[in-house]
Chains A and B, each alone.
Chain A
Amino acid sequence: MNEQDLRTMIEEVRAGRMARRAFVKRLAVVGITAPMATQLLMHSGVAMAQSASTVPSTSKATKRGGGGVLKVLWWQAPTLLNPHFATGTKDQDGSRVFYEPLAAWDADGNLKPVLAAEIPTRENGGVAADGMSVTWKLKPGVKWHDGKPFSADDVVFNWQYAADPATAAVTSGSYKDIKCEKVNDLTVKVMFDKPNPFWADAFVGATGQIIPKHLFQDFMGAKSREAPANLKPVGTGPYKFKDFRPGDTVLGDINMDYHVANRPYFDSIEMKGGGDAVSAARAVLQTGEYDFAWNLQVEDEVLQRLERGGKGAVEITEGAGCEHLQLNNTDPWTEVDGERSSLKKAHPSLTDPAVRQALALLIDRKSVQDHIYGRTGIATANWVNNPPRFRSPNTSYEFNVDKANALLDSAGWVRGSDGFRAKGGAKLKYVYQTSINQPRQKTQAIVKQACARAGIDIEIKSVVASVFFSSDVANPDTYPKFYTDLQMYNTGPGRPDPGVWLQMFLSTEISSKENKWQGRNTTRWISKEYDVLHTAAEAELDPVKRVALLIQCNDLVIKNVVLIPIVYRPTVSGVSKRLKINLSGWDSNLYDLADWYTA
């Protein structure tokens, strides 16, 4: 099925000649899943059925409160409660108890209105046809916890606050290139400097939480740290602030004036932090002391054992983070003009497509999933794995040592007396680095073993995470420098759209001494074709075409073995048996907190 067929069918649905259900069914025949199909419809401007995730909880709770205390455990505790300064999910989640964005991302990567009255679309006039602006209508009657009304002024203020360079807000990336204007008290217009297909960034999701103007307006710019409300948040959310101890506890009490009827269910929330992931899992799954545990980065084997305690279960949330192996296109062992891995010196063997293909055949992804990650890492052939609409159907992976051997033989890489291959002066001997983390070291061992069978000598190197993931210009062992032949880590788009994330293969993003290794293209792969495709995708306003272009980007990366995806990593949470919740891999863990309830 090509783009044209799809488009014709979408048109038929739009015109009412084809039922939504029939459309989904027909796509299922060609291997397109139901969520993907409905998303194609939504992105083409066909009205969508109610976001599924809001349905189940609505049917249960019929009155506000009465649910007792909700006890949640974050093994890394929130350290601050101003969403504009949140450096990690723990802080975003802590803030999300009290603050809310205009709209949130649900598990399927669809928008769900929170402080907005409706989601802007092309049809309701919210999204401008030229892609230069989007107009948000705000929900009327929303009040801050101190009783002041929430209005367009607050929204505009958040843009001013975050965009001010003197504030040095972490969220400034979402706000510095936009302009924001109040149309009336309940309408805000966001304008872009160029057509923007992914307009749902500012004021949306975990980074889009809105703080009140009346409490922060005197504390913009350099004075931002002095605002008393930094420590005593006054938001619009389901729970009101009670107490906060940085690095330890966040307490909230029910907001009896919450803007959604019959919400929230719990009378108070207790967010405890600290400790480690395994004992957090234990407190929910085995002893039942807590109702929810965040981000259980624990081996699946351990989780399964704890689940036998019977008090709770592990919940897997789809995301797009991908554990992968990067291949260096430049020579990491020769220094040119004060930098190794310089563009001026190509890698002696890794630039050979046969070697790259052979390496891809030598990564036993299935075994990595089965023996290391279990439910927490799923073997994949794709770089972009989620939301499903972006997952390429054109790729596949296999583990085949014989094929790799044959490939290397025919490319002229001959085994020497030590059993390892060489051609000319170049030997197939690689240093393979990653951060210190048990599953990663196990993966390294699996790869090393398979490579040895194909005559490739792998030397394993592991670097402390705080060095590997830092941007320290003076340190040679960081991942942006990539001073080895191969390296492995996990990264994802962090939002339900891979557009910005895919910049990491652009020739303009090469990581080098010149840009202090701030460039995202660490593999130093250069492809005109990719540059053109990505640029086209980022300017494409037609969602279907854009998805097709981004899938082509993914395929180009996979075909050229720029990197080898190994497993994609969903988020893992521990949830007590009695707690009913919705989680999303695209937003804060607490994006749907108001709807949480116990059965």
Chain B
Amino acid sequence: MSSAYLLRRFLLAIPSLLGISVVLFCVLAMAPGDPFEELTLNPNIPPEVRLALRASLGLDDPVYLRYFHWLFAMLKGDWGFSFVSRIDVDRLILQRVPTTVAVIGTSQVLAILVAVPIGVLAAARPYSLFDQIANTMAFIGFSLPTFFTGLLLILFFSIQLDWLPMVYQSTLRETGWAWWWVQIKQSIMPVMVLGLFQGASLVRYVRSSVLDVIKLDYVVTARSKGIGQRKVLIRHVVRNALIPVVTLVALQMPIVFGGAIVTEQIFRVPGIGSLLITSILANDTPVVMGVTFVFACLVVLFNLIADILYGWLDPRISFR
């Protein structure tokens, strides 16, 4: 892996990011409505007030001017401010990061912890009872949308049993151990819903990847040398089989930051996903731009990381 290769990849990322930002900006500019919709129906607010508000936010300028304003400010590190809450966009996003990482990150970890062992074991004995059950569960898992499982869990654990709260709070008053207790209780449902959904599709991926490797000649050789089944599986099969899985997980990492719009909405988790959806609904262009742009950057970055990881894990793949 040469540094020239890395440099080239970085340079290539710049035009793609610029392209993404232009497309995003145009789509948002073409979308109907403005942040002051609620005022249109209020007879006590004269139309000129609404027009003055629009003008004060520069919404009446031509789209290309607004875009360049945004771009140059962005290059200087100024993300602009939210039309709706009048707070700097970077601050608004940063405020949401801890909760997002806590909830979505935990669910990703859960997904991996569940998917890898189950996938490997299922592949080790294909078409066994365990494999059948794992497959069926995985199928159900990724067929059920999160809004459905989320509501199901709420119905069961919050309403019937009254064990878990249905509203997630980012500002708990408890401290010390009590804080952990409440935090875990309120995280269980969103983390389960997301983690199991992600895990279900990952199981199938791990399984097929292990199945591909387990039939290879070198595995047979290892077995015939008399190495125990367990050792063969862990040292020889899983290590090679997980290379594509690692890439897949790396490519999924931006999702951790992007949040999960539906799940966040159901459990009122104040993550980046819910920030994005409320900003879209409120036509809050700077925030939508900020969030989606961070997201785009992360996708580009993790693609790069995945490529590098791939080469590192499998030296046969060379970079030119």
Contacts and interface: CB of A to CB of B under 8 A. Distances in A.
A494 B43 contact: yes
Interface string B76-120: 000001101111000010010000000000000000000000000
B152 interface: no
Interface residues of B, number: 53
A79 B52 contact: no
Nearest to B151: A279
Contacts of A246: 82, 85, 87, 92, 95
B21 interface: no
Interface in B23-43: 32-43
Nearest to B99: A248
Interface in B4-30: none
Query: Which of B50, B52, B165 lies at the interface centre, i.e. has the most chain A CB atoms within 10 A of its CB?
Result: B52
A61 interface: no
Given A207-B44, A283-B167, A173 B86 contact: no
B192 to A, nearest CB: 18
B229 interface: no
A79 B270 contact: no
A87 B43 contact: no
Contacts of A251: 171
A87 B40 contact: no
Interface residues of A, number: 64
A471 B43 contact: no
Given A80-B85, A272-B268, A287-B166, A247 B44 contact: no
Nearest to A493: B43
Interface in B139-171: 154, 158-159, 162, 165-167, 169-171
B270 A168 contact: no
Given A282-B159, A466-B33, A493-B43, A73 B167 contact: yes
B21 to A, nearest CB: 23
Contacts of B81: 225
Contacts of B2: none
Query: Which of A166, A168, A201, A289 lies at the interface centre, i.e. has the most chain B CB atoms within 10 A of its CB?
Result: A168
A289 B82 contact: no
B167 A290 contact: yes
A466 B40 CA distance: 11
A469 B283 CA distance: 13
A494 B40 CA distance: 12
B265 interface: yes
A247 B267 CA distance: 14
A247 B41 contact: no
B270 A247 contact: yes
Interface string A455-497: 0000000001011011110010000100000000101011100
A216 to B, nearest CB: 14
A87 B159 contact: no
Contacts of A165: 52
Query: Which of B95, B167, B170, B282 lies at the interface centre, i.e. has the most chain A CB atoms within 10 A of its CB?
Result: B167
A283 B168 CA distance: 12
Query: Which of A79, A251, A268, A475 lies at the interface centre, i.e. has the most chain B CB atoms within 10 A of its CB?
Result: A79
A493 B43 CA distance: 6
Contact of A274 (B44, B46, B162, B265): B265
A276 B275 CA distance: 14
Given A173-B45, A249-B170, A168 B56 contact: yes
Contacts of B278: 76-77, 247, 274
10 contacts: A82-B86, A173-B44, A247-B270, A251-B171, A287-B159, A469-B41, A471-B40, A500-B44, A501-B43, A503-B43
Given A79-B85, A466-B281, A480-B40, 13 more contacts: A76-B278, A77-B278, A80-B87, A87-B39, A168-B52, A230-B86, A273-B268, A279-B154, A290-B167, A464-B32, A471-B40, A491-B41, A493-B44
